[in-house]
Structure 1
Amino acid sequence: MHYDKIVERDAAYAVARAALSHTRPKRLHTQDYHEILWLVNGKARLHLDDGRRVLTEGDLVFMPPDCAHGLQGSGEESHLVNVIVPTSEVVALAARHPIATRFFAARGSAPVIIHRDIRALSRLSSRAVTLESAPRSTLHLEAFLVPLLAELAQEARDLPPNLPDWLAKALIAADDPEVFRDGAAGLVAQCGMTHAHVARTMQAHFGMTPSDYINARRMAFAARQLAGTPDSLSEIATEIGLSNMAHFHRLFRKQFGMTMRQYRIKHQKSVIQPV
């Protein structure tokens, strides 16, 4: 897909909303632009060359150019918002704010997926409404992108300023179930370093092992599934890559101070559609 074929002439960006079809895409497609998309309701499958990712309400995806992909709705109606951003705008933004490259991945790379909680999702959707009604100028695009990037950078688990860039990118990627499902090995693979080097670096900066970090991400994901979906414990265990249910229960209780059943009763609520 080509930017100049789907975006109005001289427009710096495009915004669209869609209800995803439940039909599996017949083929994956690529594009010559960056795309930001997020689910405001429901679940979806993001199909990629190397498999698929399950997206839930609040998942924010930074899709790079030349990454073959397709989307499919799952379960109840799946609604998404997407913002199309030309590569030239990303390059210009990254020149002034290098941290943008942590989220806008290089051409042909895997997408970066970050979960937004209900408050952050509401802010994001509100900004999208403003962007949608604004002139399609670089000024208004940056008025949307800069606060989003600043918010993501600020809350990126308070990453130390001297953290190696390879580790910072790997930790962001580790929010993806496709990564943490493989445990510490999944994180180490994202780093491109030896396990021993990754472990030493994480111990120096965070005082924890790769396994400790990944298990925390797994439990955070499990908590979101408990609160926002009817998925069974065994289904959630499979999603996060834990086959030992007793170990799963121990990890969850250690992180949240209650059982998964107690957590679900306390936190489960109806899906809220952000305005």
Structure 2
Amino acid sequence: MTWRDETIDSSTQLWVVRHAFRSGQGFAPHTHEFAEVFWCESGGGVHQVNGESFPLHAGDVVFMRPDDVHGAYATARAGLTFVNVSFPAEPMRALAARYPDGEWPWRPGPSPMHVHLSPRRMERLHTWTADLSAPGQRRLDLECFLLDIARLVTRPVENDVAVGLPVWMHDVIEVFSDPRHLAGGTARFAHLAGRSQAHLNRLIRASQGRTTTDLVNVLRLQWAATALRMSDQSIADIAATCGLGHLGHFYAMFKKRFGVTPRRYRMDAWQASGK
């Protein structure tokens, strides 16, 4: 057998199918009356859509409109596996009317929206695959999924700290922003990137005009700000967790970035939320 189709759900609100193609196999260009979104779980291939061809890699997500003509085939030795969610166009159009085109992934244009997500964001879609597999999906479930995936792919990566950097660096930034990695500093960042610190410095300086240390400290302070708002962890512990264990240095850096001390930042946030 050269390919496998696994129909995960066949309710009236949506259909979820996992396709697994061997290298050289796929499906011919076609069109249909419903909308789709699919994401690549593993392998690689080519997506043919509206007369153009685009590479497909693990982590890619594509938003198909009802009138798009598309096909795909596997090119990687390991083949190509992806999950496809299809659904009636009407619920999607009703939601689209509530949001500007820039915030809605099934947007007008010659080609459908095609984005690449980091492994951490892809985990969200793996969860949705399992959730949508349950029988008896309702319109409420479909709309929750559509809104969640729209938010997932259109929100900026870590408040735009990755602007100007290549896509693979966006992935590194998201992974490094986990507190398990922050204390490791530039050495840990370089390890996650699979590049030397010198190479990263050249890349980040050319793209953003700052050093790897500057970028790492921005990510540390962003995490610290969230921890101050959302937890009662001591300021000293927060500073140590993010790798800025010298409290005076942490206070100075935090105030320079946010305009207030960590203590005042926490008090203002808690007061605003009624704590």
Distance 2:202 2:46 in 1: 29
Question: Matches of 1:24 and 1:66 in 2, distance apart?
Answer: 24
What is the RMSD computed on CA atoms of the aligned residues? 3.7
Q: Give secondary structure in 2 for the equivalent of 1:23.
A: coil
Instruction: Tell me which stretches of 4 or more aligned residues in structure 1 moved more than 3 Å.
Output: 24-27, 96-102, 156-159, 217-224, 249-258
Contact 2:59 2:122 in 1 (8 A): yes
What is the number of equivalent residue pairs in this alignment?
A: 176
Other-structure match for 2:136 = 135
Task: Answer yes or no: is 1:105 the counterpart of 2:107.
Answer: yes
Contact 1:134 1:140 in 2 (8 A): no
In 2, Cα distance between equivalents of 1:58 and 1:122: 10
Q: Which residue of 2 aligns with 1:269?
A: none
- Deviation at 1:219? 6.5
TM-score, normalisation: structure 2: 0.53
Higher relative contact order (CA 8 A, sep 6+): 1
% same residue: 25
Do structure 1's residue 90 and structure 2's residue 86 form an aligned pair? no
Q: For 1:91-122, what per-residue CA distance to the aligned partner results, in whole angstroms no more than 9, with x for missing partners?
A: 1111334458630123x731101111111111
Contact map agreement 1:219 1:251 (CA 8 A) in 2:
no
TM-score (norm 1): 0.53
Q: Given residue 132 of structure 1, which amino acid in structure 2 is its aligned partner? A: S
Q: Tell me which residue corresponds to 2:6.
A: none
Structure 2: give runs of 5+ residues left out of the alignment: 1-8, 174-200, 214-275
Q: 1:134 to 1:80 in 2, by over 3 A?
A: same
Query: What are structure 1's unaligned runs of at least 5 residues?
Result: 1-6, 160-205, 207-212, 225-248, 259-275
- Residue aligned with 2:29, SS: coil
> What SS does the aligned partner of 2:61 have?
strand
Distance in 1, Cα, partners of 2:14 & 2:133: 10
The structure whose Rg is larger is 2
Instruction: Tell me: CA distance 1:88–1:157, structure 2 relative to 1, closer, same or farther (3 Å).
Output: farther
Q: Give 2:30's aligned residue.
A: 29
1:44 maps to what in 2? Answer: 45
Pick closer, same or farther for the CA change 1:223–1:130 going to 2, 3 Å: closer
* One-letter identity of the residue aligned with 2:94: A
Kindly provide the CA deviation profile for residues 131-162 of structure 1, in whole angstroms up to 9, marking residues without a partner as x.
Answer: 12142321111122222222333336758xxx
2: CA distance, partners of 1:56 / 1:68: 20
